[in-house]
Amino acid sequence: MRGIIRLATVAATAVAVASLGSSPALADHHEEAAAMDRIGDAPNFNGVWQVMNSANWNVEPHSAGPNPLPEGDRLLGAIGAVPAGLGVVEGGEIPYNEEAQERLQYNQENVIRYDPEAACYLPGIPRATYMPHPFQIVQGDGDDILMVYEYASANRVIHMGEVGIPPIDTWMGTSYGQWDGDTLVVTTLAQGPGLVKLPEGVMVDGVTWLDRAGNYLTNHATVVERFTLDESGDHMDYSVTIEDPSIYTAPWTMNMTLYRLVEEDAQLLEFKCVPFSENLLYGDLIAE
């Protein structure tokens, strides 16, 4: 984890950069200089970013629909409904192999209750990027890059250098980054939650969910992200290719846009969700 201390010193800079375009006095300068804003030889990714899509509900194309829980409509009405989405998967469908269909069906039969998001477990990659919460990129000069997520105070270090062999599986995996011109290419390996506790004491071998619809990857997956800053400096193209021969018949790719928050007060707030998940996980132990 080289560079963490140095990265921490530029955390304040990330917020300042995120709000650069919101100042009227700097607007004209920002429009002219955004494409040239660099840290050393690399484009400046510092800032607070967020998606504007429904990928966290389902990365595949989907219609609007009711709450997946039978009692959801009665308790929540339209608040709990699923918004429609054009999908972010190239070709529209994830190429699961026949063996993977059983786990996919199991996940789908148990949304929302078995979704790691509902239990406040770490979301994994790439889901952390397109959850309905912002995240912050903290970038120094020629050093490792830190990504901090509002959801569950999650974070990951992008180890800048050659792709290595992670020592263990973890919820967020281990990420390695390299520059391909002005594109940041991040390879994440070894995403493995291990044995996971679900509601009412159910224990299962965990997998990384990609959305609330139950799509998933395993600890055999190689996830390659590509971050490419637009000339405007206020949004970037985000592409993710996932290869996992244990459950997919071929590698597949998602594409979406990340938007920089340009408000003067752009920042991450706290969403420490453990207290919100306790009744779901342990409610059966509470005395009536």
Question: Where in the chain are the domains?
Answer: 4-285
Asked if 220 and 245 touch (Cβ cutoff 8 Å), the reply is: yes
Q: What is the pLDDT of residues 222-260, one digit of tens each?
A: 999 999 999 889 999 999 999 999 999 999 999 999 999
For the chain, the three-class secondary structure string (H helix, E strand, C coil) is: CCCHHHHHCCHHHHHHHHCHHHCHHHHHHHHHHHHHCEECCEECCCEEEECCCCCCCCCCCECCECCCCCCHHHHHHHHHCECCECCCECCCCCCECHHHHHHHHHHHHCCCCCCCCCCCCCCCCCHHHHCCCCEEEEECCCCCEEEEECECCCEEEEEECCCCCCCCCECCCEEEEEEECCEEEEEEECECCCEEECHHHCEEECCEECCCCCCEECCCCEEEEEEEECCCCCEEEEEEEEECCCCECCCEEEEEEEEECCCCCCCCCCECCHHHHHHHHHHHHCCC
What is the total residue count of the chain?
288
pLDDT for 267 equals 97
User: Distance between CA atoms of 155 and 170, rounded to whole angstroms?
Assistant: 12
User: Distance between CA atoms of 23 and 32, rounded to whole angstroms?
Assistant: 14
Bridge pairing between strands 174-180 and 183-189: antiparallel
Residue 216 has which token pair? 């998933």
Residue 74, C-beta contacts closer than 8 angstroms, at least 6 positions apart:
none
User: Distance between CA atoms of 29 and 27, rounded to whole angstroms?
Assistant: 5
Burial group, residue 35, by CB count within 10 angstroms (0-12, 13-18, 19+): middle
> Which residue is associated with the tokens 């997520």?
149
Bridge pairing between strands 155-160 and 174-180: parallel
Asked if 216 and 209 touch (Cβ cutoff 8 Å), the reply is: yes
User: Distance between CA atoms of 58 and 62, rounded to whole angstroms?
Assistant: 7
174 phi, psi to nearest 5 deg: -120, 130
Q: Kindly give the parts of the chain with pLDDT less than 50.
A: 1-23, 25-27, 29-34, 36
List residues bridging with 94 in a β-sheet.
none
Name which of 251, 195, 198, 200 is nearest 221 in CA terms.
251
